[in-house]
Amino acid sequence: MNWEVIIKWLPKLAQGATLTLELVAIAVIAGLILAIPLGIARSSRHLSVRALPYAYIFFFRGTPLLVQLFLVYYGLAQFDAVRKSALWPYLRDPFWCASVTMTLHTAAYIAEILRGAIQAVPPGEVEAARALGMSKWKALFYIVLPRAGRIGLPAYSNEVILMLKASALASTVTLLELTGMARTIIARTYLPVEIFFAAGMFYLVMAYVLVRGFKLLERVLRVDATQGR
C-alpha cells in the first residue's frame, strides 16, 4: 500500500466527498418533502387516490437508478422541446440532473416507508383523536404524521445511507463526486487499489457519522419511548 499517494490526494478526495454530501443532502431532504404527499396518498383508502402514487413508486423502485439517471441526463436531450425550454441550462448540468433524479428515486422509497409507518399507527389513537372531535386533516397532522414520523425514522435513516451509496452513480454522468474523483485520480496515478481504498474509507466514515447522527436524533425525538404500545 502506497500511503504517500493516498495522503497526497486526500484533499481532492475530500473535495469529492463534499459534493457527495451535497447531492445526498439535496436528495434526501427534497425527497422527504416530495414523499410526504405521495405517502399520504399511497395509504389512502380510495383506489383513485392510491393508483397514481402506486404507479410512480412501482416505476422508481422497479428500475435501476442508473437507468433513471441516463434517462434524465442523456434521454431528455432527445426532445427539441426540452432543449428549447427555459429549464435547459439546468437539465444540461450533470449536478442538477443527478440531484433531480436522486430526489425522484429516493422519494419513491421514502413514500413507501411513510405508507408503512402511517399504516402502523395504532388505530385506537386515530379513533381517539376522531372521538375528541378532530377533523380528518387535523388528526392527520397532529396525531398520525408525528407518530408515523417516529415509526418511520429508523427506516428513513437506512434510506439515507442507501442514498449515500447510490450517489456513487453520479460519477457515471461525469460528476466529480467521491467515486468520480477517485476514478479521475486513478486515471492519473494508475493506483486503483490505494485510491479506491481511500474512497471506500471516506464512505465508511460518512456512513458511520450519519448512523450516529440518526441515533442521536432518535434519542431527541424519544423514538424508543413512544414505541411502547
Work out whether 193 is an interface residue with other proteins (CB under 8 A): yes
Among 22, 130, 134, 172, binds other proteins (CB under 8 A): 172
Spatial distance between the Cα atoms of 117 and 108, rounded to a whole number of angstroms: 14
Q: Which of 160, 169, 173, 223 binds other proteins (CB under 8 A)?
A: 169
- Exactly one of 70, 88, 92, 149 binds other proteins (CB under 8 A); that residue is 70
The correct pick among 10, 132, 208, 227 for binding other proteins (CB under 8 A) is 208
Q: How many helices (H) and strands (E) does the chain have?
A: 12, 0
- Between residues 88 and 196, which has the closer beta carbon with respect to other proteins? 196
- Positive or negative CA dihedral for 210, 215, 220, 223? positive
Contact at 8 Å (CB) between 43 and 116?
no
| CA nearest to 175, candidates 30, 7, 61, 22 | 22
Nearest of 33, 106, 29, 105 to residue 69 by alpha carbon: 105
Question: Toward other proteins, which CB reaches closer, 72 or 126?
Answer: 72
* Rounded Cα gap, residues 60 and 163, in angstroms: 14
Q: Which of the residues 26 through 65 are near other proteins (CB under 8 A)?
A: 58-59, 62-65
Query: What is the contact surface with other proteins in residues (CB under 8 A)?
Result: 58-59, 62-68, 70-71, 74-79, 164-169, 171-172, 179, 182-183, 186, 192-193, 196-197, 199-200, 203-204, 207-208
